[in-house]
Structures are given as C-alpha cells and as structure tokens.
C-alpha cells in the first residue's frame, strides 16, 4: 500500500503522510487543501465512531446487535433501526402470524428492540427455517410487512405465492453448521483473477449451485492457473437478470444457489486449493424494491437513503445511500466485516465507485484527466470518505485483504493509502483497455491498428497505483455487447470450430488475435489480470439471464463446458493458451514486477516489444507480414530461449517457430537497450523469451 504507517496491531494509530503523495506527484500540490480537507473529514468520522459508536471494532459488528440474533441460552434478541416508524412488530410461524402480539420496544436514536425468552423446554422461541416478517407501522398508522435489513437468509417463494422474498430464521443445529478447516490464503504477489458467477457456471439450463461450483468449477480454475476468484451476484437480489447489481438483502447470501453453509464450503475449498476469494460488493446503490428490499423500510423516503432526487439513480432506477448517516455507515461497514468473518472472504471488488464519487453519478460526465475534475465541487465528499473508511477498516482488521475499485473516472490516489488522503484501494480496474479492444475490432481494419496507441492505452496508469488489466469482463459478455471471440469470429464459430472442418481464414485470424490480445494485456496492462468465466476458451454467444424478453430461457445463462472439453473442437486451443500464459506468469512473476519497458512500437510493422521481470515479449500484429532476423533491443546480455509462443500447434497455431533455437545477445545498443537479439516473428504471433 505504501505510505509511512506500519501496522503493529489492530488498534495502532496511523500517521498521516499526505506529503508523500504530493512529493510523488507535484501536480497535485494546487489541490493540497482539498486533499487535507478530505482526510480531516475521514478523521472526524473515525473520531465519532470511537466516541459514539463504541470503537471501530464494535461499530463494524452491527450484525451481532441488529437483526434477529440468538444468545447462548437460546434467548432471541431482535433489534432494528427504523427512525421514521411509529411502531414495529414481529410476526411469523412462531406466533401464528399474529401481527400485533409481539411489539418492539422503542429505544433511543430510532432503534427498536424485542426480546424473546426461550420456551419452557429451553428451546428457542423461533425454530430454524421459520418464516418471519417485520411489521412496520408508519407515521400514518399503516402497517406493512417487511424483511429485516439484517436478514441472513431469504428465499424466493413458490410461483403460486407471488414474487416477494421470504425471510427465514437461519439457526441450524451445530451438527449442520459448516466448520472452516483451512486458513485464508496469503495475499498473492501476482493477482490472476477469475471473475465468475455461480448461477451460470453449469452447462445445464438451470441455476448452478454452490456445490456444483465447489466440486466442478474450482478444479478447472486451479488448472487454468488463476489464484483468485471474484464471485458475482452473491448478495441476495430478487431479480436474477440484474446480475446481482440490484441488491435487496445485503446480509443474505443468495439462496438461489444453496444455503449459507454451502457457500462457506465453497470458500473453504477455494482456500484449500490456494485460491483467494473476493466478493463483488454493491455499496453504490440498492434496489428500489419496498416489500423485500431496504427502500422505505421505516415507512419514509429517507432512512438508509438520501431523500429527494439525490437519493435516486436515474439510469439504474435504484436508491442511493446516505453515507453521512451514522447508522448507514454502521450498516455498510458491518456488511463488509460480515462477509469477511462469517464467510471468510478475502476482500472485495467495489462496484459502481464512480457513482459514489461524483454528484453527477458519472452520468454524462466526461473525465478528460484534468485534475480539476477530481478536486472540485463535483466530487461527493460523503461517498469519497465512506470509501476511505471502508478501506481503512478492511485493512485494519484483515491485513492481507484485497480491495479493487471499479472506477471509470481515474480518480488520482484511488490506490494509495488513506494516510495519504486517498481512498486506500489496492487496485483499480483498468477499464479503458477492454474499450480499446472493442473499438479496434468494431471500427478498424487490422492494417489500421495503431500499435503506439495500443501501447499507450495499456501503459497509461498512475505510478505506484495497482491496476487490474483485462481484455474483457462480464460487461462485454452481456447481451447487447459482444465478447472478443464473437467480435473476431461470430457466426463462423457455429460452422468452423471443428478440427475436422474446412480451414477458415476468419477462424484462423480469430484464434490468433484472441491469444495476442489477451497476452499483450496480461504482460503490459497492469499489476493484476482478470478473465471472465468462459472467455478463456472463447465462449460462444452472449450472456443473457432468463427474463420476459427471452421467454425466461436459461439457454444463454450457462457456460458450455462441453465445448472446451471436446477434443475435436478448437476451443481447447484457446483454453490451452490461457493455461500456458498463467503458468508462465506464475514462474516469472511479471504482474508483480515494475511496469514494462517498451522498446519497440513500430506502426508500419505492427510490432510491439517490451521487457518485464526479465522476460522479453515480442508481438507481431501484422495480418500478413512475417519477419526474419527481426532486431529487438534487450537490456540484459545472455542467451535467451523462447518459453512461450502463440504459434505452437497446441494453441491452434501453425508451428512455424523452432523453439529449440538459442538467441545470443549482440552487445550493441538498440532501441534504447544495451543489447539486441534477432528473432523470427511470423504474422499474428507473439513470443516470450527468457534467459537460461
């Protein structure tokens, strides 16, 4: 993370070092006052939590206070925050759905409490899996049935009972609780992320399960060489087609894939296999659903959200949190702690950070890179400071935790420590990279690709701020867009992906460029790499969840593993390349190394060459020209050998390169390097050379 603080224990005071940020980037000095103001706002909240919230440790365990919690003696204590409510009641199977018999007692500051002693036989008053509702009497005296914001298990009702989710009391016997057996994985130096969705991780036209993912998909991920999974759509969402981005129950792991214990088993098995597990967290907004969401929980427009226009996202049709409200901070920060301690997640990818950072929510706002965009009145200080506090808390209690920001704006200091007046993320998603590849494939012929511009896009990132590079993610896989494979090969994938079919120039080009695009992104684009489930083998077609517009079909809401497993199909070539690429990174560690030195970006030849972690990478993007004895500069003298080649036949190439050849450097300066080698580099081919 950098900066001047060292963590000796969880309660150590961190020393601010904003000058470190300003010395590293002197162009930020005109904005020093604003940076220090933000840090002061963060400290004010931290001090308030210490004075009024019982300290950060206690404050971020609100799930032990709120919601429906069972005590060691089987007493059940129910508490909620509903400042606008006139009265609260608890109803359910336990009291025959009497909506008046169990009123909550009103406490200070909008809190409500209900204590249910054990039955005469000592058993809890509410049994495991009993249905519950909270009855909220609003200011006008009307009663509404609601789900607790802290509900930990909610389920979709049978179709004949409607669409409103049901809250069930999750309190299984000790014999049925999953016990974690494996420690969390130490934070990897190189992060190779497999972005995935449990529900689509089956080839059957149905919703995949936690158990299916644990038993069948995790082994694939290990074989591919990824050391991190990023689980999407885990927080419960009533609308499956929202991809998990319209959250209705923040503390409930989605029941459509299985039980909380089955999710724990998934995480534990991943740790056993050496895989870090990140959660795609949605704290940027919440579903507008009233009866099974947070919206209007206490009967008012406000509560957890801003009132008026500031509380609504016009494009997402969702509610926006009021990050200045003390109980909202408690709710959200505890939500992070809940997933890290109850489910043992190793960190988070924060969705929609741009919306949190700007009053415009990023709508219609162009970010040209001028610092005025990031330090003016358009920045939402409350959202910014919440993210500072979230990262501060996460790293305070879990030193190896990983946080990633999904921010399209490029806010300076996103991935610098909170003590530097910054947000404290470990990485940000390099969102300009996939946009560049789509732009080229959509609008440019191969001959018109500007390799200098490609290199600029791949290397244009702030020094000492980690980036996660990716050629495509779930965004490009969704219906309405196209994956790289589809942009490259489209309908030819239905007729010419068999090794027995006639040769297709479109398929040959597609397979070659699919490998080159991923490889140059992997080696040049960041300090981590991300791939979306199935894209490693060029999964055909788009991703579309069952909805009214497709007759509720699961045909496109699945992954066709049979395609990559069929030895007669060419998908195996792309999959083999992904394995080779990740395992080479595992050996040489270029993602953990300093950014690459680019010695060649020849637009006429379409050749890119760069060095990173002692490996020399050479790319020939030219559609027709191959080059013999092509001179490439290299800093370190010695004998090199090809360790990776996209043209190998096992990767669907033509086998034009003899990998047994040694390349001895010539001690003569070239392209800004002390030495050079001469290589054969065929068209649409990439090679990696390392000393031996």
Beta strand residue intervals within 248-377, DSSP E: 249-253, 276-281, 312-313, 318-319, 347-350
Please confirm, yes or no, whether 611 is among the known catalytic residues. no
Tokens standing for 378?
Answer: 């358009």
Query: CB neighbours of 156 closer than 8 A, spacing ≥ 6?
Result: 163, 165, 166, 238, 255, 256
Distance in angstroms between the alpha carbons of the first and the last residue of the chain = 33
Distance of CA 659 to the CA centre of its chain: 38
- What count of other Cβ atoms lies within 10 Å of the Cβ of residue 97? 14
User: Contact 149/64 with Cβ under 8 angstroms?
Assistant: no
Residue 88 pairs in a beta bridge with 136
Query: CB neighbours of 271 closer than 8 A, spacing ≥ 6?
Result: 182, 183, 184, 185, 277, 344
User: Contact 387/353 with Cβ under 8 angstroms?
Assistant: yes
Count of alpha carbons within 13 angstroms of residue 461, beta-carbon side? 27
Q: Give the CA distances from residue 691 to residues 86, 638, 688, in Å, rounded to whole numbers and listed in that order.
A: 74, 7, 10
- Pick from 432, 524, 542: nearest CA to 485: 542
User: Contact 384/378 with Cβ under 8 angstroms?
Assistant: no
Q: Is 384 helix (H, G, I), strand (E, B) or coil?
A: helix
Beta strand residue intervals within 519-593, DSSP E: 528-532
Q: What is the largest CA-CA distance in the chain?
A: 90
Query: CB neighbours of 111 closer than 8 A, spacing ≥ 6?
Result: 79, 80, 81
How far is the C-alpha of 381 from the C-alpha of 649, rounded, in Å?
54
Count of alpha carbons within 13 angstroms of residue 5, beta-carbon side? 24
Q: Give the CA distances from residue 20 to residues 15, 38, 370, 385, 669, in Å, rounded to whole numbers and listed in that order.
A: 12, 16, 21, 20, 36
Please confirm, yes or no, whether 268 is among the known catalytic residues. no
Q: Give the CA distances from residue 613 to residues 23, 427, 596, in Å, rounded to whole numbers and listed in that order.
A: 27, 20, 8
Tokens standing for 180?
Answer: 């974690």
How far is the C-alpha of 305 from the C-alpha of 281, rounded, in Å?
18
Among residues 351, 407, 585, 648, the one annotated as catalytic is: 351
Phi/psi for 128 (5° steps) reads: -55, 135
Among residues 236, 280, 406, 426, the one annotated as catalytic is: 406
How far is the C-alpha of 678 from the C-alpha of 67, rounded, in Å?
68
Query: CB neighbours of 275 closer than 8 A, spacing ≥ 6?
Result: 185, 218, 221, 222, 226, 227, 228, 229
Residue with tokens 């206070």: 65
Active site residues: 351, 406
């Amino acid at each position: 993370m950098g900066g001047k603080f060292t963590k000796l224990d969880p309660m150590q005071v961190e020393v601010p070092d904003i000058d470190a940020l300003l010395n590293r980037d002197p162009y930020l000095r005109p904005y020093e006052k604003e940076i220090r103001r933000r840090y002061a706002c963060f400290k004010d909240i931290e001090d308030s939590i210490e004075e009024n919230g019982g300290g950060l440790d206690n404050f971020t365990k609100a799930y032990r206070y709120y919601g429906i919690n069972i005590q060691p003696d089987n007493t059940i204590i129910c508490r909620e925050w509903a400042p606008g409510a006139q009265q609260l009641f608890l109803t359910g199977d336990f009291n025959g759905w009497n909506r008046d018999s169990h009123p909550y007692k009103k406490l200070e500051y909008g809190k409500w409490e209900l204590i249910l002693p054990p039955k005469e036989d000592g058993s809890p008053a509410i049994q495991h899996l009993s249905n519950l509702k909270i009855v909220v009497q609003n200011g006008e005296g009307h009663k509404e049935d609601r789900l607790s914001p802290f509900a930990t298990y909610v389920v979709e009702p049978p179709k004949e009972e409607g669409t409103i989710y049901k809250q069930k009391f999750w309190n299984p016997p000790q014999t049925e609780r999953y016990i974690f057996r494996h420690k969390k994985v130490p934070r990897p130096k190189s992060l190779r992320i497999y972005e995935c969705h449990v529900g689509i991780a089956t080839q059957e036209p149905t919703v995949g399960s936690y158990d299916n993912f644990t038993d069948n998909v995790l082994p694939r991920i290990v074989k591919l060489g990824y050391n991190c999974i990023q689980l999407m759509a885990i927080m419960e969402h009533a609308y499956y087609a929202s991809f998990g981005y319209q959250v209705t129950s923040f503390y409930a792991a989605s029941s459509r894939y299985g039980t909380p214990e089955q999710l724990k088993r998934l995480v534990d098995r991943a740790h056993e296999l050496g895989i870090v597990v990140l959660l795609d967290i949605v704290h940027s907004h919440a579903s507008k659903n009233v009866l099974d969401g947070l919206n209007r929980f206490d009967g008012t427009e406000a509560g957890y959200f801003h009132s008026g226009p500031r509380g609504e996202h016009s494009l997402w049709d969702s509610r926006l949190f009021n990050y200045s409200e003390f109980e909202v901070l408690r709710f959200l920060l505890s939500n992070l702690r809940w997933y890290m301690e109850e489910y043992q997640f190793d960190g988070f990818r924060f969705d929609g950070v741009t919306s949190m950072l700007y009053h415009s929510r990023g709508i219609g706002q162009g970010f040209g890179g001028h610092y005025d965009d990031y330090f003016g009145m358009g920045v939402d200080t409350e959202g910014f400071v919440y993210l500072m506090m979230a990262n501060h808390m996460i790293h305070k209690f879990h030193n190896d935790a990983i946080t990633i920001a999904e921010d399209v704006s490029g806010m300076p200091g996103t991935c610098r420590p909170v003590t530097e007046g910054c947000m404290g993320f470990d990485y940000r998603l390099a969102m300009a990279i996939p946009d560049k590849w789509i732009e080229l494939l959509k609008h440019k012929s191969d001959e018109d690709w500007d390799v200098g511009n490609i290199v600029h896009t791949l290397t244009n990132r702030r020094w000492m701020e980690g980036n996660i590079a990716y050629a495509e993610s779930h965004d490009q896989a969704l219906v309405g867009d196209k994956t790289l494979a589809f942009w490259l090969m489209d309908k030819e994938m239905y007729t010419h992906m068999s090794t027995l079919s006639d040769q297709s120039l479109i398929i040959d080009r597609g397979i070659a460029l699919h490998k080159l695009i991923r490889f140059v992104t992997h080696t040049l684009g960041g300090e981590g790499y991300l791939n979306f489930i199935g894209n490693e083998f060029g999964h055909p077609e788009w991703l579309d969840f069952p909805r009214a517009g497709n007759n509720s079909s699961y045909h496109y809401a699945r992954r066709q593993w049979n395609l990559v497993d069929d030895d007669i199909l060419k998908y195996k070539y792309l999959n083999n390349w992904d394995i080779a690429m990740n395992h080479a990174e595992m050996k040489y560690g270029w993602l953990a190394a300093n950014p690459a030195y680019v010695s060649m970006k020849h637009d006429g030849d379409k050749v890119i060459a760069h060095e990173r972690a002692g490996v020399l990478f050479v790319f020939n993007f030219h559609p027709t020209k191959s080059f013999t004895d092509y001179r490439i500069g290299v800093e370190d003298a010695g004998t090199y050998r090809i360790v990776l080649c996209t043209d190998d036949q096992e990767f669907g190439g033509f086998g034009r390169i003899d990998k047994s050849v040694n390349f001895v450097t010539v001690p003569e300066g070239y392209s800004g390097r002390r030495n050079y080698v001469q290589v054969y580099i065929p068209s649409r081919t990439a090679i990696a050379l390392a000393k031996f």
